Structure 1
Amino acid sequence: MPEGDVVWAAAKRLHAALAGRVLTRSDFRVPRYATTDLTGRSVIDTISRGKHLLTRVEGDITVHTHLRMEGAWRIRRAGPPPPRDHRLRLILANAEWQALGYSLGVVEVVRTSREDRVVGHLGPDLLGPDWDPAEAVRRLRERPEQAIGEALLDQTRLAGIGNLYKAEVLFLRGVDPWCPVGEVSDLERLVELAQRLLDANKDHLDQITTGERRPGAQHWVYGRAGRPCRRCGRPIRRADQGDRPEERITYWCPSCQPRRATPS
């Protein structure tokens, strides 16, 4: 699933292509909104909220989309409609650009004045203008018994972290993914690092946590199961963490992140 920095970049591209321009085409290829027509209306802006995208249109209208696992927005010059493609779920176009939403996990239209209905449950947004690290830490501490590797993925605690940044942040802070939140000694520094990593990568195609841009050298532990740790040389481990259907693969170094609990 795309992480918060990828969604932030998608919002930036959508905003540049659509904001301040009148829609000449809106094509919702989802049954519930198949008859919805926004042509003739101006787009006000597009923002990200965690992993959610909100495109606001005049008339108290917001198009809410979520990429889920495979979704993507592609921006193209205005022209003929793209060929029929079962993955294409939404087209928003103006005289200059067309935004094509492929394999979007969520497509819905809500009142802008009621956006809280779809994003109000989220915790502080790591890339939002109202980012509040103290509030994020407070929310994490509400469930002290929860494993930190699961807590960081809970978007109601803080919004924007995905599996990649979870693994990398925990490695860099030397924290076992199964350590209960209540036993993490410095949540403030952990949350601060997560925000800095997302912010550093939001304008780049690659998500780099090591400072190395070379392919294969960009991450510390994520996606490196069985390969030697860049710090100690021991093999990186991987295991499922969390309850179904929310379980995700976790990567960690057993030496640099001493285990406090055995994964079930």
Structure 2
Amino acid sequence: MPEGDSVLQLSQKLKFMEQQVVAACSIRVPRFATVNVQGWRCTRVWPYGKHLFMSFAHPEHAPLVLHTHLKMDGRWGIYRAGQRWRQPAHTARVVLRLGEVEVVGHRLGMVEVFPQREYAQRISHLGPDILDPQWQHNGLREEAIARIEAQPQRAIGVALLDQGNVAGIGNEYRAETCFIAGVHPGRAVAETNVPAIVDIARRLMWANRNAPVRVSTGVRRAGETTYVFGRENARCRRCGTPIAKASLGEDYERIIWWCPQCQPA
């Protein structure tokens, strides 16, 4: 599942849509199949955590927001009008044509359309966006820390992945953040330095927000970009201990990686 930095980069690729008029629209989700923004102007494209939003305006109607989430398999493709799509047509969930360009959302895990006035309500279940440019200035950092610390007996690895605490952190950043902090992902929140851990996650993700290759180690060579993520049984880059892999409590569907020496349970 793409993490916050990937969705931020996707939104930047789609910025060309802003201020363009939609020449054709097809939303291939039963609940919203009758929604048609043909003739509407795309006014903004932006991310919030792992979510992507597009707003559309029309002089005779209230503004609308298209909200999508990639989940595990979603992709957005950008094509010249008439160009063959790189994925089968039946996987398309959203098709927008703007001028000579088609923007196609394939296998999107979630698609919804709602009035723009409902935006704040629709994202109210999410914590602060860790890649918000105002992270340090609008109390967002402090809010995220407070949300995590509100459940002191929860595992820190579970708390970091909870989008209701802080939006944007995924499995890779969870693993790498815990390693850099020297904290086992299963350790209770109350036994960790939450502000330091949140600051590490923010620095890692902010440093990678525009990078074509996600890097935690500072080394961009293939196979050397992460400390523990995806490295089961490989030697720890710090101490040489084989990296361990397991599932984590209530988060059993997500795998954790850690170094038993650098991150003792």
TM score, norm. by length of structure 2: 0.92
Greater shift, 51-60 or 228-237, is seen at 51-60
Instruction: Supply the distance in 2 between the matched residues of 1:130 and 1:98 (Cα, whole angstroms).
Output: 33
3-state SS of paired residue (1:213): coil
Give the gaps of 5 or more residues in structure 2.
none
Matching residue within 196, 209, 213 for 2:203: 196
Q: How many residues align?
A: 256
Instruction: Supply the distance in 2 between the matched residues of 1:84 and 1:135 (Cα, whole angstroms).
Output: 43
Provide, for residues 116-156 of structure 1, a one-character-per-residue CA deviation record: whole Å limited to 9, x for no partner: 34311111101123422111111110000100000000001
1:6 deviates by: 0.3
1:65 deviates by: 0.2
Provide, for residues 26-80 of structure 1, a one-character-per-residue CA deviation record: whole Å limited to 9, x for no partner: 1111111222211100000111011111100013200000000111112223335
Instruction: Supply the distance in 2 between the matched residues of 1:231 and 1:10 (Cα, whole angstroms).
Output: 34
**Conserved? CA contact 2:184–2:264, under 8 Å:** yes
The one-letter amino acid paired with 1:4 is G
Partner of 1:15: 15
3-state SS of paired residue (2:246): strand
Identity %: 41
Instruction: Supply the distance in 1 between the matched residues of 2:100 and 2:154 (Cα, whole angstroms).
Output: 49
Q: How does 1:1-264 map to 2 (within 5 A)?
A: 1-16=1-16, 18-58=17-57, 59-79=62-82, 82=85, 85-131=89-135, 132-184=140-192, 186-243=193-250, 247-259=253-265
Give the gaps of 5 or more residues in structure 1.
260-264
**Conserved? CA contact 1:221–1:236, under 8 Å:** yes
**Conserved? CA contact 1:13–1:75, under 8 Å:** no
1:191 deviates by: 0.8
3-state SS of paired residue (1:60): strand
Aligned-pair Cα RMSD in Å: 1.5
Greater shift, 173-182 or 73-82, is seen at 73-82
Instruction: Supply the distance in 2 between the matched residues of 1:66 and 1:162 (Cα, whole angstroms).
Output: 14
**Conserved? CA contact 1:124–1:130, under 8 Å:** no
The one-letter amino acid paired with 2:215 is I
3-state SS of paired residue (2:89): coil
1:188 deviates by: 1.4
TM score, norm. by length of structure 1: 0.93
The one-letter amino acid paired with 2:245 is R
